[in-house]
A = this chain, B = another copy of it.
Amino acid sequence: MSRVSKKIRYISLLQAWIAGGILLFGFLGGHFLWLAAVLCVAVFSIAIWAGLILPEEAEEEMVRQKLKSHKQSLEMLSHYRHDVMNQIQLLKGYLQLQIYDRLQAPIQKLVNDAQRHSVLSNLPGNELPYVLIKRELAAPMLHLQLEIEDKENWKEHLEQEIVTFINYLSAIGENLSQDLGIIAEWNMKLRLSGGAASITLAVLGEHVNNTYIAELIEEFGRKGLTLLEQTAEGQTHILSFGSQVKPNVR
């Protein structure tokens, strides 16, 4: 809860107490009318003060939050701009050296990135797409693609839980990638039904090896996600995880 909201709460409680005091001293006691009058002046002063100061503070907090959001927007744009420019520099270089057959790779990377971002943008919810794209732009070694099954059963109150859960798993993946120096792509299908979560994870990546997969399974296991099945399709490792209880991610 924000500072202003807390202040509103405490000041209101204070006023309620004082009003109770006026009743007690002024009308039940009878002898302490002067004390009740003092308390009355106190309520009056606090109310005037709160009416002048608190709305201003609430506005300032809103403005602060707005400016913070703007800054984050610009940072996300700047990350993406740098990603684009890196590939463009490659293109410029190959073009200058007339190595035309290598132009395809940077172009394809730009297309892949854009498609991945676009899919993330279309995920349900208000916060989930934002959080995932922000993560993707800031942490470039894990490319996470998420699919939520039963989109039609999407419930707003589930969003915060899913965001926390995905953030948690993707932090595992990003750390793993950075520790082993392996860029990986995860295509994750998530089902959250009742109290249990189940995940199908397809892991792609030129350098993804058995060490990577073994460590991934171990880390997921620590969070209560049991490996149910492990298969491979060509270069892609496919892992199915299930959890009997809601995974504890807090």
Question: Contacts A23-B37, A43-B43, A62-B61 hold; do A51 and B84 have CB atoms under 8 A apart?
Answer: no
Q: How far apart are the CA atoms of A126 and B135 in the complex, in Å?
A: 23
Q: Does A118 contact B (CB under 8 A)?
A: yes
Q: Which residues of B contact A126 (CB under 8 A)?
A: 67, 70-71
- Encode contact with B along A16-57: 1 for CB under 8 Å, 0 otherwise: 100110110011000001001100110110011011001110
Known: A2-B62, A67-B126, A88-B107. A81 touches B20 (CB 8 A): no
Contact A70 B130 (CB under 8 A): yes
B127 adjacent to A111 (CB under 8 Å) = no
Contact mask A55-95 → B, CB, 8 Å, 1/0?
Answer: 11011011001110111111011101100110010011001
Inter-chain contact A81/B117, CB cutoff 8 Å: yes
Query: Known pairs A12-B50, A16-B44, A58-B58. 9 more at Cβ < 8 A?
Result: A12-B51, A13-B47, A61-B62, A65-B65, A67-B127, A78-B121, A91-B91, A95-B103, A98-B100
B contact residues around A54 at 8 Å (CB): 5, 8-9, 12
Within 8 A of B (CB), among A123-182: 126-127, 129-130, 133
Chain B neighbourhood of A73, CB < 8 A: 69, 72-73, 76, 130
Q: Is there an interface contact between B58 and A133, defined as CB atoms closer than 8 Å?
A: no
Interface status of A248 (Cβ within 8 A of chain B): no
In this complex, what residue of B is CB-closest to A56? B5
How far is the CB of A29 from the nearest CB of chain B, in Å? Answer: 12
| A residues whose Cβ falls under 8 Å from a Cβ of B | 1-2, 4-6, 8-13, 15-16, 19-20, 22-23, 26-27, 33, 36-37, 40-41, 43-44, 47-48, 50-51, 54-56, 58-59, 61-62, 65-67, 69-74, 76-78, 80-81, 84-85, 88, 91-92, 95, 98, 100, 103-104, 107, 110-111, 114, 117-118, 121, 126-127, 129-130, 133
Chain A to chain B contacts (Cβ below 8 Å), 24 pairs: A8-B8, A8-B54, A9-B55, A12-B47, A12-B50, A15-B15, A15-B43, A20-B44, A23-B37, A23-B44, A26-B27, A61-B62, A62-B62, A62-B65, A66-B69, A69-B69, A73-B130, A74-B121, A77-B80, A77-B117, A77-B133, A78-B121, A80-B80, A91-B91
Cα A56 to Cα B4 in complex, Å, equals: 11
